Amino acid sequence: MPEDRILDQAATIVSWLHRQALEGAAAGTILEGLCARLVAGDLDLERAIVAFMVFHPQFDAINFAWSRDTGRAERHTVTWQLILRSTPSPFAHMHGTGTEELRYRLEDGEAKLPFPILEQLQSRGLTDYFAFFQPFGGSVDPQFWPDLPSGVTIREGITGSFATARAGGFHRDELAALRVLAPPLALAVKTAAAHEMAEMLLGTYLGAASGRNVLRGRVRRGQGEVIHAVVWHSDLRDSTALAETVPLEVYLATLNAYFDCVIEAVAASGGEVLKLIGDGLLAIFPFGAGTRAGEEACRQALAAAREALGRLAEVNARRAEAGMTEIRCGIALHAGDIMYGNVGSARRLDFTVTGTAVNEVFRLETLCKVLAVPLVISEAVAALYPEQLRPLGQHTLPGVGRAIKVFSLPGPMEG
């Protein structure tokens, strides 16, 4: 078979990459499909990677690594701290210098290689390495990357690499094909990266399900649906006094420690955190029609409450050892039919929940302080929950035209 077969097929692969961009394929899927086509065209490919930067509170870049052994592209998240610790690397070098192509022959064991990753690939028997960088024309704002060395500019773009283990390395026409494919590959990956970043950011700020709803087009005022849900509201105790008596950074650290406990507990039990309101948190545990669905949602909500209070107890034990103040909160759980969707003005919308159950859960939470318990459960939740709860009496709440029976978990609980 002639060596230039892959170059002859490049135009077909370029067209396929354009379709992937238009159809919104995921970056890992794009890389897997590209490598499968290259291998089918007799390019002896052993390893391939594409990488791009993202805005995310927990990491700064994503890469997908394909291997011939598995035929799959594995997703990895990377922080800039890790990237800087791994420097020098081909990708960091290209982002920093704007170099758009690197190629290293790895067969010569005596030659000095400039990047540790190349030595690792050489030790694994790879013979040739080709990397590309497709810049976007902009640079990373240095204020968002405080760990970058002074004076270093990081250019935005897509990086990728291909490596082979074939004796003699890549043929000339194979390199020509990879050069032809790099721009459309970068375009397809950039499209996928933009969609993934939008979904991640909307999920981070609105909640995963709410973010997906907005991204899929539920953006008109009044657009939404009535759902059944257990509604959660929690609030940090004594936060006003704390804010007035400690430095701002200490207050923010305390607030974040509290949110770490409650948000992670809600998410771990399948709840959706909708909103952070000052030091309060609004979340839901949706369920379908039927008693069993309601029971499961109540179990999830109660499990989240137990987990949150348990996490706070662990945090407070460490804070006590350090001579720090205790973090306390109140949690209220209510259930009912609520409107889940868009409210606001034509200019400024919010994707959230509204309805009687939402209004009442905010007022129920104030009973935590009155009754000196960290958790208050409404009669609506108790009616769905099959296990024994501790009754706390019947109470009239401001703005609610009826008295509501409330409960808490069995056993001693101090608020």
Q: Are residues 89 and 198 in the same domain?
A: yes
Q: Are residues 382 and 257 in the same domain?
A: yes
Q: Are residues 156 and 224 in the same domain?
A: no
Q: Are residues 282 and 391 in the same domain?
A: yes
Residue 389 lies in a domain: yes
Residue 213 lies in a domain: no
Which pLDDT value is given to residue 1? 40
User: Domains in the chain: how many in total?
Assistant: 2
Dist. CA 57–CA 140, nearest whole Å: 16
Residue 211 lies in a domain: no
Span 205-251, pLDDT tens digits: 888 888 888 888 888 888 889 999 999 999 999 888 888 888 999 99
Q: Are residues 110 and 239 in the same domain?
A: no
Nearest to 316 by CA among 249, 260, 244, 252: 260
Q: Are residues 190 and 227 in the same domain?
A: no
Residue 215 lies in a domain: no
Q: How many other CB atoms are there within 10 angstroms of residue 135's CB atom? A: 17
Q: Are residues 234 and 333 in the same domain?
A: yes
CATH number at residue 380: 3.30.70.1230
Q: Are residues 240 and 389 in the same domain?
A: yes
Q: Per the confidence metrics, is the pTM higher than 0.85?
A: no
Which pLDDT value is given to residue 4? 61
Q: Are residues 315 and 231 in the same domain?
A: yes
> With left for phi above 0 and alpha for psi between -120 and 50, is residue 90 left, alpha or beta?
alpha
Residue 9 lies in a domain: yes
CATH number at residue 72: 3.30.450.40
Q: Are residues 33 and 143 in the same domain?
A: yes
Q: Are residues 297 and 167 in the same domain?
A: no
Residue 107 lies in a domain: yes
Q: Are residues 225 and 369 in the same domain?
A: yes
Give every residue of the chain whose pLDDT is below 70, as ranges. Answer: 1-4, 110, 144-148, 290-291, 411-415
Dist. CA 73–CA 75, nearest whole Å: 7
The three-point CA angle 151-156-199 to 5° equals 130
Residue 415 lies in a domain: no
Say how far residue 309 (Cα) sits from the centre of its chain. Answer: 24
Which pLDDT value is given to residue 314? 96
Range of the domain at 129: 5-206
Residue 291 lies in a domain: yes
206, 231, 258 — which closes off a domain? 206
